[in-house]
Structure 1
Amino acid sequence: MTAVLGVVGGPEPGGRTSAAVAGVLAGAKAAGASTSLLELSGAEPADVAAALEAADAVVFGSPVYRATYSALLKGLLERTERGRWGETTAPLQGKAAATVLTGASGHHFLAVGDLRNVLAGFFAVQVLSPGLYLDHAGYVDRSTLTGDSAALAAAHGAALVDLAAAVRGSKALSALTPQV
């Protein structure tokens, strides 16, 4: 069974980003995966590292601030080892990931590409494309996706499960490491 971890980089638990990541996880669960959600705002770094290591796939979620993902998510990625230059772990190597960003309006949707580039280029993660971006119009209220947004998030979750299986099943894909 594929284990999918949702990582939410919002400053408060239970916000719009959590709802969006939960929607992706619901789609992954419907596709047969086991899922868990981790909010960085209340998590211990050691617990996050262990959860990343145990996951087959990760959904990285963040609100967009100043046209990029949150400082909490940046901090996690900066602490995450890549198995280079004497590092002893590479918890994202050989994994699939999905990106979920949320914002007040559609004007910040290009931030999805920034997160994708870091995951794919710096960590050699196989990232599901396109990334998911939801603005306020994608919600009924702070914690409830609209029907269309929920269906889109679920489709991303199902696709992530398929991508994780493809990466796990390919020696070549799972062996890729960062270039630099």
Structure 2
Amino acid sequence: MIILGIDGSPHGPGKTARVIREVLEGAAQQGATVEMLRHDAPDVLIRIREADAVVFGSPTYRASHSSALRSLLERIDRDGNNPPLAATPATVVMTGGSPAHFLGTEDLANTLRGFFGTQVLSPSLYFHSAHFDDDGEVKDDTAAQCRVHGTALWELTTAVRASTALRTLKPLV
């Protein structure tokens, strides 16, 4: 099982990449092969298509995900016969400076769920400055929460792979 982490930060890697890595670590502890890519990696679209699950991470700007991640999502062709993210388990991880922007995760989760037809793990994760130490490193309790989320993504991916019905769901177009 391949679980891919996408860092949608236009300035990273930074705090967003750090929490994505912790989520991936939780999946790796279950036996998943994990990989981290930036939104602008040359082979990112191919790797998304090949992944069994995807962690979409972004800093929060204006209560939404970054324009860099939005641009990546716009480049994913939603082929009606073979949509690349259809039924793919995914999770949303976002960072921001204030606890007030936690609902920004829902915009991205709704796009993934509705437009692409992914199986989005709920709840999404949102972390602000209190979740990091003075050096910008992930605090231990936050890292533990991320790893549990990674384990849950691995379990969701296992369930989707085992289910004929869940694997055949596609976005309505």
Regarding TM over 0.5, the answer is yes
Could you tell me whether the CA contact under 8 Å between 2:58 and 2:65 is conserved in 1? yes
Structure 1 runs, 4 residues or longer, greater than 6 Å off:
none
Match of 1:83 in 2: 79
**What number of residue pairs does the alignment pair up?**
173
Find the partner of 1:121 among 103, 114, 133.
114
Match of 2:31 in 1: 32
Find the partner of 2:103 among 97, 106, 110.
110
**Aligned-pair RMSD on alpha carbons?**
1.2
Distance 1:50 1:154 in 2: 26
Distance 1:126 1:142 in 2: 34
How far has the Cα of 1:131 moved from its partner? 0.2
Distance 1:160 1:83 in 2: 25
Match of 2:62 in 1: 66
Q: Which amino acid aligns with 1:77?
A: L
How far has the Cα of 1:143 moved from its partner? 4.5
Q: Which amino acid aligns with 2:48?
A: L
Q: 1:141 to 1:4 in 2, by over 3 A?
A: farther
Tell me the TM-score normalised to structure 1 length.
0.92
Tell me the TM-score normalised to structure 2 length.
0.96
Could you tell me whether the CA contact under 8 Å between 1:94 and 1:174 is conserved in 2? yes
Q: Which has the higher strand share?
A: 1
Name which of structure 1's ranges 127-136 and 139-148 shifts more when overlaid on structure 2.
Answer: 139-148
Match of 1:56 in 2: 52
Could you tell me whether the CA contact under 8 Å between 1:14 and 1:143 is conserved in 2? no
Percent identity of the aligned residues?
45
